[in-house]
Amino acid sequence: MKSKNKFKAPQIENETIEELSLKLFEANEQLKKEQKERAEMLSNISHDLRAPLTAIRSAVDFLRSGQGLTMDDYVFSLNIIDRRTKNLEDLINDMYYLFCVEDTSKKLNLQKVEAFPFLEEYFFDIEADSRYETKKLFFDVPDNLNYRIDIDIQKMIRVLDNLMTNAAKYSDAGASITLKGELSGPDCLNISVIDTGIGISGEAIPHIFNRTYTVSSSRTPDSSTGSGLGLSIVKAIIERMNGEVTCESTEGVGSTFTISLPVV
Ligand code: ADP
């Protein structure tokens, strides 16, 4: 007689169940963290959008009031409108850029390029840039650094621009800014932007790449304007190129931002 087939329940080891629940727990925590960050970011963005809009609205209302306005009043109000509109443009452009970089369905235009000529050409271009005219610029990349890195050139230029403009923004006239390149271990290239500027406090460093964080405005130079998203953009781009970015800094001494990328 044919024996009856018996249903065999799949065996799940206890250990596997524990591992699975741990993974589930971790994924859930990560999701909660991301939701919290997103909520904080939305609240920060609405605040950042509202502040310039309020200033523009007040200037427009003032101009509309009409009576007894002098030419100086017009110039003063137009300057406010101009400056605050620029703030809004910067913020909206950076927000859009960050969302695009973080959208993994959009592919980067990766190309294998020689590190030395790429950095040399970049440095050559910025030497003529008026943003750095009061700074001392140095290029510290050995010309035998003939290793290749896999980068999206336009996005890598954006990364270097963000780090270099920060170095200039957060330092006084006469400060030094160095673009440095060196091999770190057998298969990693470090590119650093080193400044002798105002530096960053030890408490702030762990948070500066976070888009929901802003260092106290009391420390931010008056002349500087920024969306506060520059370093988040740097981090997002570098991570999509399989690298990482770190910061070391001492208040009153200066900061070093280092990008590590695999050599290919
Ligand atoms: P933003 O410059 O628009 O505020 P970023 O994301 O580029 O935004 O930088 C975040 C913060 O990190 C800055 O507000 C500033 O306080 C600090 N920071 C960044 N780069 C430097 C630097 N080179 N030196 C000192 N502080 C810096």
Asked whether residue 53 carries a pLDDT value surpassing 60, the answer given is yes
Asked whether residue 187 carries a pLDDT value surpassing 80, the answer given is yes
Closest residue (by CA) to atom 8 of ligand 1? 228
The pocket around ligand 1, CB under 6 angstroms, is made up of 166-167, 170, 195, 197-200, 208, 214-215, 220, 226-232, 255
The pLDDT score that the predictor gives to residue 108 is 95
Task: State the closest ligand 1 atom to the C-alpha of 219, by its place in the atom list counted from 1.
Answer: 16
Contact status, residue 155 vs residue 118, Cβ threshold 8 Å: no
Closest residue (by CA) to atom 7 of ligand 1? 230
- How would residue 6 be classed by pLDDT, with cut points 50, 70 and 90? confident
Task: State the closest ligand 1 atom to the C-alpha of 254, by its place in the atom list counted from 1.
Answer: 24
20 Cα–ligand 1 center, Å? 40
The partner residues of 244 in beta bridges, in order of sequence, read 260
Contact status, residue 232 vs residue 44, Cβ threshold 8 Å: no
Beta-carbon neighbour count of residue 263 at 10 Å?
Answer: 17
Model-wide pTM > 0.75? yes
Contact status, residue 127 vs residue 239, Cβ threshold 8 Å: no
The pLDDT score that the predictor gives to residue 130 is 93
Distance of CA 134 to the CA centre of its chain: 24
11 Cα–ligand 1 center, Å? 54
pLDDT tens-digit profile of 148-166? 999 999 999 999 999 999 9
pLDDT: is 13 or 111 the higher one? Answer: 111
Helix (H, G, I), strand (E, B) or coil at 216: coil
Mean pLDDT of all residues in 77-101: 93
The partner residues of 179 in beta bridges, in order of sequence, read 139, 193
The partner residues of 191 in beta bridges, in order of sequence, read 181, 259
Q: Among 200, 212, 234, which residue has the most ligand 1 atoms within 8 Å of its CB, making it the best to mutate?
A: 200
pLDDT tens-digit profile of 93-140? 998 999 899 999 999 999 999 999 999 999 999 999 999 999 999 999
Closest residue (by CA) to atom 12 of ligand 1? 208
Q: Where do the H-state alpha helices sit in 66-152?
A: 71-102, 115-127
